[in-house]
Amino acid sequence: MERDSVVGQIVARRSGRRVEELAPETDLSEDLGLDDAAVIGMLGELKAAGFHVRDGVDLGSLTTVQALMDAVSRTS
């Protein structure tokens, strides 16, 4: 499954929103009410789904759906 689709599904599930309601600029905290613990949980789900979290990613920089998408890549 494509990275953006998987990220969207995970964010939607965690936030209680539909994937269609999410945009790349959607703020995880302000718009969706997700805290750092939720972001860490989403990163764990992405790892379990076969994605690699870029080395050196700062949790504080993961503020939007796009930032979360940019922080991960499919493992080889």
Dig out the tokens for 70 from the structure: 């940019």
Collapsed DSSP state (helix, strand, coil) of residue 37: helix
Report pLDDT digits (tens) over 34-70.
Answer: 999 999 999 999 999 999 999 988 888 999 999 999 9
Q: Is the pLDDT of residue 75 over 60?
A: yes
Q: Is the pLDDT of residue 1 over 60?
A: no
Which three-class secondary structure string do you get for the chain? CCHHHHHHHHHHHHHCCCHHHCCCCCECCCCCCCCHHHHHHHHHHHHHCCEEECCCCCHHHCCEHHHHHHCEEECC
- Can you give the residue ranges of every domain in the chain? 3-74
The DSSP output letter for 49 is T
Domain 3-74 has CATH 3.40.190.290: no
Name residue 56's amino acid: G
Q: Is the pLDDT of residue 76 over 80?
A: no
